[in-house]
Amino acid sequence: MAGNHHAAASNKVQVTIEEGLAIVTINNPPVNSLTQEVMNEFHRAIDLLAKNEHIQAVIITGAGEKAFVAGADIKQFLSLDEQDGRQLSLDGQLVFEKMEQLPVPVICAVNGAALGGGFELALACDIRIAAENAKLGLPEVGLGLIPGYGGTQRLTRLIGLGKAKEIIFTGKPLSAQEAHQIGLVEKAVPEKNALEAAKDMAAHMMKNSPQAISKAKMALHKALETHLQDGLEIEAHLFGKAMATKDCKEGAAAFLEKRPPHFQRH
């Protein structure tokens, strides 16, 4: 989508869209904590992106250089009971699930500390790129809590049960390099370079067929939810759907004619 515009209602969650790339910046100094206000605004931003057919990729990042998103607003925990806590968890899970289900790649540029809910936000993204100064961790057990925005589930699926237990039981944050070594982040880049690296990766993805990427994302997510045979059937179904698109015919023709493909853009 040509041009550059803001699509968020407030300064705490800023959305800019340029040439099909949406950048969502959480700006809540000093550490971009996920207060209820920020979560509500982030929810609205994700809903807006879900309705925007011009979006081809999304980057999530934090303002400043100190923190990506450093967790929830701990002050509120003092006054919450069991039902309040359950609802807080469900509300956060819903927002991150909506983001996860966007039909485009969602890349997380972890520019600093990603702790608690901030780490869980990163886990719900498709790709994680962390700056060398980033720290990633789930310190909830030190507060008498457990991760509540999907951390116990997504972390286990991403790196396995044993390593997930170590990270959650110790509450000890990992460096970007440590996170990269265990497959928790896809790239570790020099300090201040996370956003640029995310933009570069998004640009490569956006050269490809948006319809094909959407279908590939659906199939990949099913791999974690189904038995192999069911997953293979889903893959075959989506492969057939992709085969019938104009993008497929254009991609094949461009390959044979040795020219760049011109995929359908909204």
Instruction: Name the DSSP letter for residue 217.
Output: H
Q: CA–CA separation, 79 vs 228, rounded Å?
A: 45
Q: Which residue is catalytic, options 120, 196, 235, 250?
A: 120
**Amino acid, single-letter form, for residue 159:** I
Task: Tell me the two tokens of residue 255.
Answer: 């390959």
Q: Is-catalytic flag, 140?
A: yes
- b/e map 96-116, b = 16+ CB within 10 Å: bebbbebebbbbbbbbbbbbb
H helices present in the chain, as ranges:
36-51, 82-100, 117-123, 151-159, 161-170, 176-181, 194-206, 210-223, 228-243, 246-256
Instruction: Name the DSSP letter for residue 125.
Output: S
Q: Which residue is catalytic, options 19, 37, 140, 196?
A: 140
**CB neighbour list of residue 118: distance below 8 Å, 6 or more residues apart:** 32, 34, 62, 67, 68, 69, 70, 71
Instruction: Name the DSSP letter for residue 140.
Output: G
Q: CA–CA separation, 76 vs 80, rounded Å?
A: 7
Give the residue numbers annotated as catalytic, written as ranges: 120, 140
